[in-house]
Amino acid sequence: MAGSDSQPKKAIPPKPAANAPRKPLQVMHISRKAEEEVIAKESSKKDISDQSKDKRFDEKVLDEKEISLLKKAPEQKKLILDDSKENFKATTMDDLLRSENNSDYKNIEAFDDRNVFEQKNRTVDEFDFDEDEFLAALEENQPIGTTGEIAKGSVIAVESDGIYVDIGGKAPGFMPKNECGLGVITNLKERFPKGLQVEVLVTREQNADGMVTISCRALELRKSWDKVQNLAKEGKVIRVKINGFNRGGVTCDFEGLRGFIPRSQLEDGENHQSLVSKTINTAFLEVNPERRKLVLSEKRAAMASRFSELEIGQLIEGEILTIKPYGFFVDLKGVSGLLHHSMVTNGSMRSLREVFQTGESIKALITDLDPSRGRIGLNTALLEGPPGELITDKAKVMEEADERAVKARNSLNKEKVDPQKEKKDINLSS
């Protein structure tokens, strides 16, 4: 192998000595600041990519929403334009240009519900107004049952504590058991069957439920007081039954009202206890519905019955009881009449005793009657012929009193007719 070229040998590095020391490992040192910059750069790239992705998604959703709203926009615009035709003439050119710039449908909020309502807003005067229908609605909804009002209705239910009556309100009226009538009612169902028509008085107005409180008893008492007042004005005599007594007098009932008769107004006031369960004639002394006070008199009843037998122009005989400066009091069999000094004679007299004396019997004409006040006015001057005849010849006047009373009665009737005739003549002349 002398003719072949030998390949060069690689250099073999020298082996370290067995006891030679090792070199320290080389470590790459990266600073903390550089590491944070690298991390921040990577995260910003990711955020930019995510934002672009979200933006693309939002733009897609908004585009779809704008398309749907823009499709509806022409219809809403048409409604608005129809409603505003009447106001179009009053709109200026500047307003039109301003509205054209603001209605390009790019801002879809211009067609929200609030703006549409404001465009359609109208005043009350633009609506049709019917006054009759308005008043009818008020009357229909007016609450029924004011205190003191009389109402009519029918019984719809009966309970143990009262009854319910339909009086036309939104709720029935309730009548407590103790207000169902005068006296004691033992069986409400028999007294007030369903469907019974009743007349009641409203004693309390509607509560929160619309129910009113009504009463038959209060209505009957009101009617009783009205009747008693009319009887008292007419001076009527009534018969009552005595049902109790106390130290001051006796009690009775009349038309559901409790009356009282003082002992001083009884014919036998000393033994008033014995009048219980007896019926007597009485007249009215005091009638006061506000205070619920009814006072009667047996003595005035005798006077009232006597008044019923008297009339103006009647000749009556009586006895002189007392003499007063202003005239004579005359006993007319149970009642007293007054003969005023101006009615004694047509002549001039120095003293009343010059004509009549106490206890003397006389005849006189009745010229005034007032049963409510118990007054009787007498006159003897009308029985005279010449003025002062009673002073000069009293006996003759008393003997011819019946005949002279006829003439005097005719003159009294003429005096009643003449004033009415004068009034007619005055009216005709006027």
Domain that holds residue 175: 140-215
Residues in the chain, total: 430
Residue 131 lies in a domain: no
Contact in structure between 301 and 281 (CB atoms under 8 Å): yes
Distance, CA of 188 to CA of 161 (rounded, Å): 9
Q: Looking at the structure, do residues 402 and 314 belong to the same domain, yes or no?
A: yes
More confident site: 73 or 257: 257
Q: Report the DSSP beta bridge partners of residue 157.
A: 164
Residue 425 lies in a domain: no
What is the model's pLDDT at position 146? 77
Distance, CA of 420 to CA of 418 (rounded, Å): 5
Amino acid, single-letter form, for residue 158 = V
Contact in structure between 348 and 363 (CB atoms under 8 Å): no
Q: Looking at the structure, do residues 391 and 328 belong to the same domain, yes or no?
A: yes
Q: Looking at the structure, do residues 299 and 332 belong to the same domain, yes or no?
A: no
Q: Looking at the structure, do residues 172 and 202 belong to the same domain, yes or no?
A: yes
Residue 206 lies in a domain: yes
Residue 128 lies in a domain: no
Residue 338 lies in a domain: yes
Q: Looking at the structure, do residues 407 and 363 belong to the same domain, yes or no?
A: yes
DSSP string, 285-347: EEEETTTTEEEEEHHHHHHHHHHTT--TT-EEEEEEEEEETTEEEEE-SSSEEEEEGGGT-SS
Nearest to 285 by CA among 272, 266, 307: 266
Distance, CA of 215 to CA of 173 (rounded, Å): 9
The model's confidence at residue 4, banded by pLDDT at 50, 70 and 90, is very low
| Residue where a domain stops, chosen among 304, 329, 361 | 304
SS3 content of the chain, % helix, strand, coil (to 5): 40, 25, 35
Whether residue 5 has pLDDT greater than 60:
no
pLDDT digits (tens, 9 = 90+) for 400-429: 999 889 888 877 776 655 545 444 444 444
pTM of this prediction exceeds 0.75: no
Residue whose entry in the numeric block shows the structure tokens 């619920």 = 292
What is the model's pLDDT at position 216? 92
Backbone angles phi, psi at 384, to 5 degrees: -75, 155
Contact in structure between 377 and 402 (CB atoms under 8 Å): no
Q: Looking at the structure, do residues 193 and 282 belong to the same domain, yes or no?
A: no
Q: Looking at the structure, do residues 344 and 269 belong to the same domain, yes or no?
A: no
More confident site: 246 or 105: 246
What is the model's pLDDT at position 423? 46
Query: How many CA atoms lie within 13 Å of 59's alpha carbon, on the beta-carbon side?
Result: 6
Least confident of 125-129, 193-197, 250-254, 294-298: 125-129
Helices 32-83 and 113-120 cross at an angle (nearest 10°) of 20
Q: Looking at the structure, do residues 159 and 173 belong to the same domain, yes or no?
A: yes
More confident site: 301 or 109: 301
Least confident of 107-121, 125-139, 221-235, 281-295: 107-121
For the record, the structure tokens of 2 come out as 């002398």
Total number of domains in the chain: 3
What is the model's pLDDT at position 36? 67
pLDDT mean over 233-249: 90
Whether residue 293 has pLDDT greater than 90:
yes
Q: Looking at the structure, do residues 340 and 377 belong to the same domain, yes or no?
A: yes
Per cent of the chain over pLDDT 70 is 62
What is the model's pLDDT at position 171? 78
Distance, CA of 114 to CA of 127 (rounded, Å): 22
pLDDT mean over 41-54: 56
Whether residue 220 has pLDDT greater than 50:
yes
Amino acid, single-letter form, for residue 394 = K
Distance, CA of 428 to CA of 430 (rounded, Å): 5
What is the model's pLDDT at position 300? 85
Residue 335 lies in a domain: yes
Q: What CATH number has the domain bearing residue 361?
A: 2.40.50.140
For the record, the structure tokens of 92 come out as 């200026």
Nearest to 216 by CA among 196, 245, 239, 231: 196
Residue 430 lies in a domain: no
What is the model's pLDDT at position 187? 86
pLDDT mean over 290-305: 88
Whether residue 205 has pLDDT greater than 90:
no
Mean pLDDT for the chain overall: 76
Q: Looking at the structure, do residues 318 and 361 belong to the same domain, yes or no?
A: yes
Q: Looking at the structure, do residues 283 and 375 belong to the same domain, yes or no?
A: no
Residue 402 lies in a domain: yes
What is the model's pLDDT at position 50? 55
The model's confidence at residue 378, banded by pLDDT at 50, 70 and 90, is very high
More confident site: 176 or 424: 176
pLDDT digits (tens, 9 = 90+) for 143-175: 566 788 888 999 999 998 899 999 887 778 999
Q: How far apart, in Å, are the Cα atoms of 271 and each of 238, 276, 356?
A: 22, 10, 39
Whether residue 20 has pLDDT greater than 80:
no
Q: Looking at the structure, do residues 159 and 175 belong to the same domain, yes or no?
A: yes
Whether residue 1 has pLDDT greater than 70:
no
pLDDT digits (tens, 9 = 90+) for 328-363: 999 988 788 999 999 999 988 888 998 999 999 999
